[in-house]
Amino acid sequence: MFDTDVVVVGCGPAGAAVAIGSAQQRLRTIVLSEEAIGQERPGETIHPGVEILFEKLGVNDAVNRAAGIRHIGHWTQSPRGHRLLRFGGEPQDPWRGYQIRRGVLQEILAARARSVGACIEDRCRALRPIRRGPRITGVETSRGAISCKFLVDASGAAHWLARTDRREIVPISRPLIAWYGWAVSDEASRFREPVLKIEDGGWCWIAQIAEDTCAWARLGFGEKPISRLAKPRALMGFAGLGRERGADVTWRYVARQAGPGFLHVGDAGAVLDPAASHGVLRALLTGLRAARCITRILQSEALSRTELASFGEWSRQWLMYDVQRLRAIYGEAGWSVEARA
């Protein structure tokens, strides 16, 4: 007898989407979050294409109330000029992206997961998977063992399950570190429509996320692509909120996305740098797809192999499409991201 149907490791957008999707199908669902819900994270800018997923998850109204800024596109600055790239829609009713703190978004998604029946255990650390033959049947946690029919890794770029289970993680770029931070000024509204600036050897992104606060990110492609990058010059009149931080955004993926009793979603399955532009969209969609996959398998075990293979191939094809798109963009700028032998 299993303690629960689904255990999800991680409560970011991907993990919360799995939890909501599974609980909506009346699957017993437990989410393990190593940290307290609502901690600050980078990545506040969200593409408007995510709106349909917010509606499906039942959080659209809450997100709209919390999103202080809705932008119609972003500016690009490069040697070719300065132009506004709009998302689309009609002039009188343009599509709008979201600027929302990741911690706030996590709180909204977690509250929704609880409301539909998922149990969220915060400050609970996943230690190692439990196996019965080739199948994962549970997880050892800092609070004891939990047996389950499916274990979903939504731990993010740490790839908890793949590393713990010694699964292959395939690099598809040379090492890349994105540097990011926040800065405060009364002039933050200059960046209400975010700015992507193509610089010598890399790019920087600046977006207003609150009345007096901007978030920024930078990525370099020089001889030392992991060198620390400071606050952009365009924000030199702004007061920094703490020191800049780095995140490993080396392009990579877990070779086996799904198998007997497990799936990988969001960054736990694959990582690209922020210029891919739809990290939250991908997290939510992979989470919902995983929940649907699990539901179908639990309804008919005969579908297991087909459903898991389909999930893995779908994840791989989406990743490769984004990889090709980024390679084309960076190649046009003369930047190489290829992994070195």
pLDDT in tens, 223-244: 666 678 889 999 999 998 888 9
State mean pLDDT over 34-60.
87
* Residue 308 host element (H or E): helix 304-332
What per-residue confidence (pLDDT) applies to 333?
83
> Tokens 């939504």 label which residue?
154
Q: 203: which strand partners? A: 198, 219
What per-residue confidence (pLDDT) applies to 267?
96
Q: How would residue 81 be classed by pLDDT, with cut points 50, 70 and 90? A: confident
- With 80 as the cut, is the pLDDT of residue 107 above it? yes
- Structure tokens of 76? 């690009």
DSSP state of 187: T
2-22: per-residue pLDDT in tens?
Answer: 899 999 999 999 999 999 999
192-221: per-residue pLDDT in tens?
Answer: 999 999 877 889 999 999 899 999 999 998
- With 60 as the cut, is the pLDDT of residue 341 above it? no
264-288: per-residue pLDDT in tens?
Answer: 999 999 999 999 888 899 999 999 9
Prediction pTM value = 0.94
- Structure tokens of 29? 């669902």
What per-residue confidence (pLDDT) applies to 223?
66
CA R_g for the chain? 20
Give the whole-number percent of the chain exceeding pLDDT 90: 75
Angstrom distance (rounded) from CA 271 to CA 274: 9
What per-residue confidence (pLDDT) applies to 335?
87
- Please provide the DSSP assignment of 5-22 as one string: EEEEE--SHHHHHHHHHH
Measuring CA to CA, how many Å separate 203 from each of 60, 76, 149, 198?
31, 10, 44, 5
CATH 3.50.50.60 fits domain 4-68+102-171+253-332: yes
> Tokens 């010694």 label which residue?
166
Give the whole-number percent of the chain exceeding pLDDT 70: 98
State mean pLDDT over 117-127.
95
What per-residue confidence (pLDDT) applies to 340?
65
State mean pLDDT over 80-86.
86
Q: To the nearest whole number, what is the mean pLDDT of the chain?
A: 92
* 198 vs 54: which has the higher pLDDT: 54
177-191: per-residue pLDDT in tens?
Answer: 999 999 999 999 999
Segments making up each domain of the chain, as ranges: 4-68+102-171+253-332
- Structure tokens of 115? 């409301």
